[in-house]
Structure 1
């Protein structure tokens, strides 16, 4: 009786490509042969019989596994696809111990040679970067590891069956099915079975080979009628077979017997499947009779999952059960028995997308509870970035609906057109985690000012991606818990510049402090100056989005927004995980030069806390001074001893928030006059300085008020001060800006604001 597969093969007599001939020479050299024998395996493949020398431990193989010092193998090479298709290494022995070895592909039949599984990832991709000799060396290592019991990376875990060919997928959480079997949660007391609520994810081609199922949970007997009604209603409404719900079957042996051997082949027909289950004490006919009696037979395949108890926990999982997935191609007519020759497909299992899987794939875990204001083109992408990294606590505030023109740059697609943006994006990310609890995803389809205060108390971070001045002003006025970290991001300068602001400790510096400081920083920052100059000359485009409708917007491609959204998302995650800025505020600039070959650059500006002061006259206005400004004023007062000094303030005003920001001060011009009792501020060179500031900041920052000292510590306005303020107020109202005067004593800074 022949014990080698090669003895049944004939010599190959056809032509061989140059690439195959090179591969054959490598095989010859590796094994030290004078020449190699080329056999015809089938019409598309050749086989090269060779023998490995295996180093067996002195005391024999581990566990007595039948690995020999000389192991005959076949190198199976594709005639048409080599070298793009990796050769297979097959055992040439008919008595090779396939049932006792991991890392072997399941064969079509039990009579086929055992196929070595050499690499975990795509073997063709791996082979694209190595030579034939590298493949042969891995095969040699495979046999050595088999002899010493080290085929598995971790000897304390059990490797699953390797499927080389499968038809479609069955998606489910391992832990969900494992708990059903571990707790022996039977649908009926006399059978080791459970019914699973599943759905068909993909059947577009109407071919059984394309079927993909997704299972969500086990169905208790007490809830069967309700679940069946839900399935019938959903299937009636379904426009296609995709996403249509159905019931799957999970089976296991009730005696709890452990199976340590691997199945060298899996059933291809229903008769073989029945025998497969009978050998394990599972009455599949009785199980299917229950299914049939309940009227649950499906026309498009019947998914059956077999739970096998292994001696060790499965590699990568926490349980001892391995799940083998079958799909029985049932007759189209209900009530007709399943014939023995009905096809059975093996399916591969996939874990559904989950927070844990997202964290594994992204290499990070995002857990900070975040509420986004604005789910437009920028915000929607950042929200998706967070969700795809497994963040499960995301709130979204937006009152607008997704419209057709938004599709040019939005993260959502046409199926969400007409839906509120906040609700649409929350629905989208919730669907990503269908097998998980998604109550942490919340949509607020309203303007932000209507969101209840207690909502914001539930979050750790607020991200404003609205690009709205209304929201900016609201954030400046709004009182939040000090535990809420506030940030804002926007894209400017036709996409060349992205700006991300993060408030400091206790909301100081505040968002408006940071935004206005970015304007002022254009005095010394080239990127900001270029933006402010271009922005001051900009004419916004009015784009027609429908008959009678138009939108004033900045024209910008989607990839530019995606670039900035990715950078913002990365920085926010890093700051949420471990802050690098301490208690200070941050202005982050992401820059891309869009002309020619893109050039990327980033820059950070840390901003210390601002000093806040209220108007002494009760106007309700607030002055916010950049750090160091008040110290400088006090120092100038002391330097001039008993002589009054003064100058002008550089900053900007916001009537909506009743706030004046002061970033710098100009000391007394050369033609100023100060005495012990008064100060007359000169004008020499002053207009040139102010104009330079306005030019670099695009007209946003400039003259904002006057300051002078009272070295005699008069804590108020003198009669002369008030008269001068009345004169200034007439001029300032034409600009318009409020009239601001800051009095500096030896110990105090006293702001006065008049409208």
Structure 2
């Protein structure tokens, strides 16, 4: 047959063939658009070749873009010897089939000697698709592909469709953004330059983001980058590359010779380059629209040119091998692959790079949080390898923060920094979200007492022997802050068992291990998978709640003894009202609670109740989170006597459910008129109050103002603003 594949290769008709191909042949016979002509084997490649006449329904207004496609086309369906575990391939019988104007093509058939262009029937793994859907659906898919072709529906306007290459000689990792910067800053419309690259394996290369020069490390070799930013090439690649002259359809091909001369004259180092058998050539071909899989309209095509430097060979006849270009990992690709392109990302300060912190840090980096500042004054010890993100023995003895930066640098260029210093010695913390992974009370109180943290921070810890993870994300302007959020969460223990269980949990003595050198560092027995589960929640909290007005508390239950118990709780924690400080003590009260008490001051009779909360002397903080108003209060216009009904029962329940973390810390009463100054009766009451704690808060609320008094000491001294 003239002008067909049969002219190029020998085909031998078969009368018998293996039984495994029968379902495919039967499916073709049942397909309304396909008629089998003959069945062959060939020296082209092992397997079965089924010659088919394909009936194509041509649109009434003609074939899209007047492509040379006929109502009856002949195709070859090629099934390899590993059928049905691999999908058949479709080969065009006509040698002049208009492949240079058709998207969705493969160059070659995988694991075969076939190098011809053929339809790309499925963007994903066609072999998996075929095994799941079978030969009947495959024949229908072939019909659909040719129907889409003649109707102009192969192109989805989602980008320029590049050819898929099979049986290639390797791949090269390139930072496309680096090459685009060279193109945009070059003085002329077309050009060439010599760039450094490394050979990472027999079939793997990495182009470095640096201009090649003499005297570089012996492992850094030159490659040539050529481009043309003026001429737009709309045709698709329509033939395999065998010799350099096959590249002439690309205008930038003319610059390859210039690049070789630069290597020979300007950068030639005999000892280093004489053994260079193949030269890596990268061409930037401008396409009419953004290239699928890239960030620009340039398609980067790479080949290995068999050329020996300082030879007189004509490069046009030198052999070339196709090398697939792969976008190296950068922030943009990281965001695209993780689906976080539309999430704004602030810098991250990581306090603590241990088992939990290291995983949170890397999860964030892989989502595009590429600017991280890592703080940890600790080194990797052998036991850390069981649960740390880093598992290489070579890391033992290195600072944890530094190792994490190295891990990020291995993935992509980033703006991260590592700091081997005591957290409490930090004088300046970069602006950004601070994530505290230290599980240290000292760190918690340091973050509250120092003013170097300006933005809301997130603190995460693991409790209940690993079965509970708690993450607290501060509200706007750090209100509520981590401490007040914890106290607010304590109150929920009155109604929610999981929180009460957390607050009353006692760690078994046999869970305590002393490790490290010359220290007693306590840890829990916990597997890496459980820590990873808790760490995986934190990046999602950051993505979703970073602009919330309220604080967000997240409890993650991962019960490895009973997986059906696993669940997640999200609580919104409202901001606090900051009352005037007294004698250096800061008084914070839940906003809705304060508004409620203020309303009582507008009533015709005075009212009173007890304050519930926490007093933390290490930061001189009084946090008021609830009140209890006895039903037997004796209320009058100018006085109130606080009752006792239900008080003991409530305090007992509070103590049991919160393990004593929430306490009766003071009292309040209202004045119905005037200001909040204490009356003679109030002063007498202050003097008679017996205090056995660090302090006792007395609050007077009037319609016009609020005043706080702190009673402390054995002499019942009280101070106010």
TM-score, normalization by structure 2: 0.84
**1:308/1:449 CA distance change after superposition, 3 Å:** closer
2:709 is the counterpart of 1:751: yes
Helix, strand or coil for the counterpart of 1:657?
A: coil
**1:636/1:253 CA distance change after superposition, 3 Å:** closer
Helix, strand or coil for the counterpart of 1:38?
A: strand
2:304 is the counterpart of 1:327: yes
1:101-135 per-position Cα deviation (integer Å, ceiling 9, x unaligned): 33333349999654222222222122233222322
Kept after mapping to 1: 8 A contact 2:303/2:322: yes
**1:685/1:133 CA distance change after superposition, 3 Å:** closer
1:626 alignment counterpart? 590
TM-fit CA distance, 1:621 = 1.9
Rounded to whole Å, the distance in 2 between the matches of 1:184 and 1:650 is 70
2:716 alignment counterpart? none
1:118 alignment counterpart? 121
Helix, strand or coil for the counterpart of 1:135?
A: helix
2:577 alignment counterpart? 611
2:144 is the counterpart of 1:141: yes
TM-fit CA distance, 1:696 = 1.0
1:39 alignment counterpart? 40
2:717 alignment counterpart? none
1:262 alignment counterpart? 237
Residue correspondence of structure 1 range 238-637 to structure 2 within 5 A: 244-251=219-226, 260=235, 262-267=237-242, 272-273=243-244, 282=254, 287-288=259-260, 290-293=262-265, 294-295=268-269, 297=273, 299=275, 302-307=278-283, 309=285, 312-313=288-289, 315-316=291-292, 317=294, 321-328=298-305, 344-365=320-341, 366=343, 367-414=345-392, 415-434=394-413, 438-439=414-415, 441-453=416-428, 455-456=429-430, 458-459=431-432, 461-479=433-451, 484-535=455-506, 538-539=508-509, 541-546=511-516, 550-576=520-546, 579=547, 581=548, 583-614=549-580, 616=582, 618=583, 620-630=584-594
Rounded to whole Å, the distance in 1 between the matches of 2:290 and 2:701 is 77
Residue correspondence of structure 1 range 80-95 to structure 2 within 5 A: 81-95=82-96
Rounded to whole Å, the distance in 1 between the matches of 2:114 and 2:207 is 34
Kept after mapping to 1: 8 A contact 2:514/2:523: no
TM-fit CA distance, 1:28 = 1.0
Rounded to whole Å, the distance in 2 between the matches of 1:71 and 1:633 is 85
Rounded to whole Å, the distance in 2 between the matches of 1:739 and 1:684 is 24
1:319-371 per-position Cα deviation (integer Å, ceiling 9, x unaligned): 5543321234678xx97899999974321111111222122222223422332
TM-fit CA distance, 1:52 = 0.9
Kept after mapping to 2: 8 A contact 1:253/1:282: no
2:657 alignment counterpart? 696
TM-fit CA distance, 1:501 = 1.8
TM-fit CA distance, 1:553 = 1.3
2:695 is the counterpart of 1:739: yes
1:216 pairs with one of 208, 214, 230: 208
1:96 alignment counterpart? 97
TM-fit CA distance, 1:299 = 4.5
Kept after mapping to 2: 8 A contact 1:503/1:586: yes
TM-fit CA distance, 1:46 = 0.4
TM-fit CA distance, 1:377 = 2.1
TM-fit CA distance, 1:285 = 6.4
Rounded to whole Å, the distance in 2 between the matches of 1:634 and 1:69 is 85
Rounded to whole Å, the distance in 2 between the matches of 1:572 and 1:33 is 56
2:627 alignment counterpart? 665
Kept after mapping to 1: 8 A contact 2:224/2:256: no
**1:719/1:545 CA distance change after superposition, 3 Å:** closer
Rounded to whole Å, the distance in 1 between the matches of 2:289 and 2:678 is 79
CA RMSD of aligned residues (A): 4.0
How many equivalent residue pairs? 693
Kept after mapping to 1: 8 A contact 2:192/2:255: no
Deviates more, 1:523-532 or 1:35-44: 35-44
Rounded to whole Å, the distance in 2 between the matches of 1:343 and 1:607 is 68
**1:301/1:184 CA distance change after superposition, 3 Å:** farther
Helix, strand or coil for the counterpart of 2:397?
A: coil
**1:59/1:507 CA distance change after superposition, 3 Å:** closer
1:238 alignment counterpart? none
Rounded to whole Å, the distance in 1 between the matches of 2:89 and 2:238 is 20
**1:70/1:401 CA distance change after superposition, 3 Å:** same
TM-fit CA distance, 1:490 = 2.0
Kept after mapping to 2: 8 A contact 1:647/1:708: yes
Helix, strand or coil for the counterpart of 1:452?
A: coil
Helix, strand or coil for the counterpart of 1:357?
A: helix
1:154-174 per-position Cα deviation (integer Å, ceiling 9, x unaligned): 39x643333122132111133
1:167 pairs with one of 162, 166, 169: 169
1:50 alignment counterpart? 52
**1:71/1:510 CA distance change after superposition, 3 Å:** same
Rounded to whole Å, the distance in 1 between the matches of 2:64 and 2:640 is 99
1:715 pairs with one of 663, 673, 678: 678
**1:533/1:292 CA distance change after superposition, 3 Å:** same
Helix, strand or coil for the counterpart of 1:131?
A: helix
Rounded to whole Å, the distance in 2 between the matches of 1:511 and 1:90 is 65
1:68 alignment counterpart? 70
Rounded to whole Å, the distance in 2 between the matches of 1:172 and 1:371 is 30
